Amino acid sequence: MKGRADDVQDRGCLVGIIFFILGLGTLLPWNFFMTASLYFQERLNGSHTDLFNSTGNGTGPVRNGTGPVHKEYYFNNWMTLLSQLPLLLFTLLNSILYQRISEAVRIAGSLVFILLLFILTAVLVKVPMNTDTFFSVTMAIIWFINSFGAVLQGSSFGLVGLLPQKYSSIFMSGQGLAGTFAAIAMLISTASDVDFKSAALGYFITPCVGTLITLFSYLLLPRLEFARIYLNRSSKYEDGTTDKLLKDGSVVENNKLNSHANGSARTDGVKLSEEADKMNLSQEGTMQVEKGQDKASVWEVFKKIWVMAFCVTFVFTVTLSVFPAITVDVKTSFPGRWDHFFISVCCFLIFNINDWLGRTITTLIRWPRKESPLFPVLVVSRVVFIPLLMLCNVQDRYYLPVFFRHDAAFAIIMAWFSVSSGYFVCLSMSYAPQMVDPKDAETAGALMTFFLSLGLSIGAALSFPLRSLV
């Protein structure tokens, strides 16, 4: 972008830091609920004596002569599915109605409701509750918190699409760190000496603080001059130029035009004339005004980015079909105290660190190029990770043999699985806005978020039959 955008710098990388925090905040709900699956399983199974007791109040395990009898809730599968369905539905709604509701209301409002739902989840840690009721309330919270998360994520992708490409990578890197943040918080709570309820309470207070910081960071963004210049591109005119495109997109006022062209734009409310469609304004604070300032339709944008849309859908279909529904049931080959940390480390921490690493690598390496036919081929090749992870030491199993029993084998597969996921997702999401005109970048970002959510939902649905095949 020429003119003022070249002269104004992102001082102290504040805009980059804000988008990093915003990326982290968009995935806090999903990651904190997913990483806490062990807490929810223990509470639903009534297996932790510090939290439950068999007093006949319906909150503890029911025992008979052979030991405890647990109702199977399939929490990981339902949690994944009920996280992704609202993400899909509300991302679609956001991509259709985003022009009717202001970006500030969508982002700030979503963050406020996410904060309130996290507070409710933290409070429920201390509230005794029948397991069926607790399951239903938790599923409702997961549904609503991911609904607001979908609006937040779709709006944020559209927002970051207005800035230079590196900010998309920074935003995606922040999203990748959200999982690592949640995994470390779970490890700290697991390793702490406090009782189970206090550890869980501290764990869920952490995303409350993170969401609050994200909200304050977003409110700071419009105060930064560098951000204002790019975020005002949706109006197609920069601050400091003599043109002003009215918000309804139909009236253009031109007060002073110092150009090398002979024609001038009319100021009586009609559209720009043919002579003023392509005027070269002077070097300072100039830009080329092209005919047809209206944004392209959703279908026109989709035809330009459909390959990237397919890629992001397929990546998340593969990822969510086995993670966490299958990977969380892998058992260590070294029982003992390590068993308490195995899933937190080898499943969640390894996945999230390497997913974040894969996203971060794209700031240095961008291969294949967006035009290369090799790109979708590599994306499709990730399907090999599904049988590889199903052949790890997943318990209980009924059909498939265990081929990779050692912890190291599972950790290595998880590392490649996650780094490839983060890398190809980030490339797909950052390539798409480059394939359309700048005026359509927000639409492209919203569409890509919809297809991202579609991949998550398909993967979540596939996790049910794939788990039953193990």
| pLDDT of the residue at 94 | 66
Provide φ and ψ at 371, rounded to 5°: -85, -10
Provide φ and ψ at 437, rounded to 5°: -65, 150
The span from the CA of 468 to the CA of 470, in Å, is: 6
Residue 359's alpha-carbon distances to 59, 166, 314, 389, in angstroms, are: 42, 12, 17, 22
Which one-letter amino acid corresponds to residue 223? R
Q: Are 236 and 442 in contact (CB under 8 A)?
A: no
- Count helices and strands in the chain by DSSP H and E runs: 17, 6
Task: Identify which of 90, 83, 145 has the alpha carbon closest to the alpha carbon of residue 120.
Answer: 145
Which one-letter amino acid corresponds to residue 130? N
Q: Are 154 and 454 in contact (CB under 8 A)?
A: no
Which one-letter amino acid corresponds to residue 129? M
| pLDDT of the residue at 229 | 84
The span from the CA of 134 to the CA of 140, in Å, is: 10
Kind of pairing, strands 288-289 and 243-245?
unpaired
Reduce the DSSP state of residue 394 to 3 states and report it: strand
The topology (CATH level 3) of 4-61+71-230+295-469 is: Growth Hormone; Chain: A; (1.20.1250)
Cβ within 8 Å of residue 164, ≥6 positions away: 1, 230
Task: Identify which of 310, 438, 430, 326 has the alpha carbon closest to the alpha carbon of residue 376.
Answer: 310
Q: Enter the tokens of residue 232.
A: 């005002």
SS3 content of the chain, % helix, strand, coil (to 5): 65, 5, 30
- The pLDDT tens digits along the chain (470 residues) read 444 555 677 778 898 999 999 999 988 888 888 888 778 877 887 644 333 333 333 333 344 444 445 566 778 788 888 887 887 787 677 666 666 778 888 899 999 999 999 999 999 998 888 988 999 999 999 999 988 988 888 788 778 878 887 888 788 778 878 888 888 888 888 787 777 778 888 889 999 999 999 999 999 988 888 888 887 765 443 333 333 333 333 333 344 333 333 444 433 433 333 333 333 333 333 344 344 457 788 899 999 999 999 999 999 999 999 998 899 999 999 888 888 889 889 999 999 899 888 988 888 889 999 899 999 999 999 999 999 999 999 988 889 999 999 999 999 999 999 999 999 998 998 899 889 888 888 788 778 877 887 898 899 889 989 999 99
Q: Are 390 and 321 in contact (CB under 8 A)?
A: no
Neighbours of 92 (CB within 10 A): 18
Q: Are 406 and 119 in contact (CB under 8 A)?
A: no
- Per-domain boundaries in the chain: 4-61+71-230+295-469, 240-273
Provide φ and ψ at 109, rounded to 5°: -65, -45
| pLDDT of the residue at 9 | 78
The span from the CA of 18 to the CA of 216, in Å, is: 9
Residue 444's alpha-carbon distances to 317, 326, 329, 447, in angstroms, are: 20, 33, 37, 5
Which stretches of 130-244 are DSSP H helices?
131-160, 165-191, 196-220, 225-231
Q: Enter the tokens of residue 429.
A: 């999401």
DSSP 297: P
| pLDDT of the residue at 7 | 61
Kind of pairing, strands 288-289 and 279-280?
antiparallel
Q: Which long-range contacts (CB under 8 A, 24 or more apart) does 104-108 make?
A: 106/151, 106/152, 106/155, 107/152, 107/155, 107/156, 107/159, 107/218, 108/215, 108/218, 108/219
Q: Is 298 exposed, middle or buried (0-12, 13-18, 19+ CB in 10 A)?
A: middle
The span from the CA of 178 to the CA of 207, in Å, is: 10
| pLDDT of the residue at 233 | 60
